[in-house]
A = this chain, B = another copy of it.
Amino acid sequence: MPKRIGRYTIMLTTLPSIIGNAGVVGKKEGEGPLANEFDKIHEDEFLGKDTFEKAESELIKDAVSHALSKANITPEDIDCCFSGDLLNQCIGSSFALREFGFPFSGLYGACSTMALSLALSSTLIDSGALNIAVAATSSHFCSAERQYRNPLEYGGQRSPASQWTVTGAGAAVVKNDDGDNPKIAAVTFGKIRDLGITDANNMGAAMAPSAAETISTFMSDTHTKPEDFDLILTGDLGKVGSRLLRELLFKENNIDISQVHNDCGTLIYDLESQDVHSGGSGCGCSASVVCSYIINKLRKKELNRVLFVGTGALLSPTSSLQGESIPGISHAVLLTSSEIK
């Protein structure tokens, strides 16, 4: 049963397990440093479909199918799926999931969505409201680029602080289980923070304050320090936002995470050779990294305590055109290996 601790953190006393996880990606991500971690690398950016949006739906379907199969369960076993993406009206998720026939709760948290879906799934499992849930999220470079920026054919120049939307999806099946699986131990739903950043090409900077707030809230609520974690993993601040986050936390909260911090946006690509500027972004970035590399490492007990902080920029092209600044939000999920009780 969930138990509140401090002001905003929820401890999951049954430690819901991740009984199946999968990350699937596109060609560029398959050429990056995590290539061997993914369940599938799709060389065709259309995934055999005729539009990028339909291709994105295929990515989610593929991630969910792999995760269900690795958990050795069928769609009929699922009580609810929590999923979202970046496409207008979240059509990536809804068109993907209609074929599975399980209940569905649609989410929108921009790039924080994977953390949000894990947070809701695990809290509802811990409470007994659900027995088995799926958390899933996606993004696709080509569908995002034309929706948020320019047609691909335009060949727009990218600014140095910009991030590259990951073509990828991740899915995790969550269940109470005694097995030797990674666990979800705690959750903090984040607040919206807006410090007035208006540069839509520097979303790392827009999201860093909310990440700092959620991390300091989690640590204060749970009386923990950076040394208590093997990894504090943000997704996706990129190189620019990551540096800002470390500075903010140190200057404002006297918390030094530099020894244990990493970011999904800097992990998924080789920033030197892959021409992605500040790193990866998009719902599918942290989804594919967490649901493959990170959960795999927890499964192998090469990591034991990971604070995953999904970071989202809650802007739209319309809000930017109307001169609005970019609100950020970050949700935290504490992932542990089965070593930790």
A104-B191 contact in complex given A89-B110, A124-B123, A127-B2, C-beta closer than 8 Å: yes
Interface contact B129-A94, CB-CB below 8 Å: no
- Which of B8, B80, B316 is in CB contact (< 8 Å) with A103? B8
* A243 in the interface (beta carbon within 8 A): no
A293, CB-defined interface residue at 8 Å: no
Which B residues touch A80, using CB under 8 A? 189
Q: Write the nearest CB–CB distance from A324 to chain B, whole angstroms.
A: 7
What is the bound-complex CA distance between A173 and B29, given in angstroms?
43
Contact of A247 with B by CB under 8 A: no
Contacts of A10 in B (CB 8 A): 129-130
The reply on A97 being an interface residue by CB < 8 A is yes
When A10-B129, A107-B107, A108-B107 are in contact, do A192 and B124 touch as well, CB less than 8 Å? Answer: no
**CA gap between A205 and B207 in the complex, in Å:** 41
Q: How far is the CB of A108 from chain B (nearest CB, A)?
A: 4
Contact with B along A80-118 (1 / 0, CB 8 A): 100010111111001101100111111111100000100
CB distance from A159 to the nearest CB of B (A): 21
Cβ B317 vs Cβ A94 within 8 A: no
Q: A88-B89, A189-B105, A191-B102 are in contact. Are A94 and B327 (CB under 8 A)?
A: yes
Alpha-carbon separation in the docked complex, A130 to B5 (Å): 11
The verdict on A1 contacting B190 (CB below 8 Å), with A108-B89, A108-B90 known, is no
In the bound complex, how far is the Cα of B104 from the Cα of A314, in angstroms? 11
User: Which residue of A1, A4, A319 has the most chain B CB atoms within 10 A of its CB atom?
Assistant: A319
Question: Does A79 touch B at the CB level, under 8 Å?
Answer: yes
A89/B1 contact (C-beta < 8 A), A105-B109, A327-B95 known:
no
Interface residue tally of chain A, by bracket?
35 or more
A254 CB-CB contact with B under 8 Å = no
By a CB distance below 8 angstroms, the chain B residues around A331 are: 105
Given known A189-B80, A319-B95, A322-B54, contact A105–B120 (CB-CB < 8 A): yes
- The A243-282 residues at the B interface (CB cut-off 8 A) are none
Within 8 A of B (CB), among A35-57: 50-51, 53-54
Q: Inside 8 A of A322's CB, which chain B residues have their CB?
A: 50-51, 53-54
Encoded as 1 (CB less than 8 Å from any B CB) or 0, chain A from 138 to 170 comes to 000000000000000000000000000000000
Is A318 on the interface with B (CB-CB < 8 A)? yes
Residue of B nearest to A11 (CB): B129
Contact partner of A131 (CB less than 8 A), chosen from B4, B54, B124, is B4
Q: Give complex CA distance A110, B94 in Å.
A: 11
Chain B residue contacts of A105, Cβ below 8 A? 107, 109, 116, 119-120, 189, 331
A88-B318, A89-B315, A105-B119 given. 7 additional CB < 8 A pairs?
A79-B189, A91-B314, A91-B318, A104-B329, A105-B120, A126-B129, A127-B129
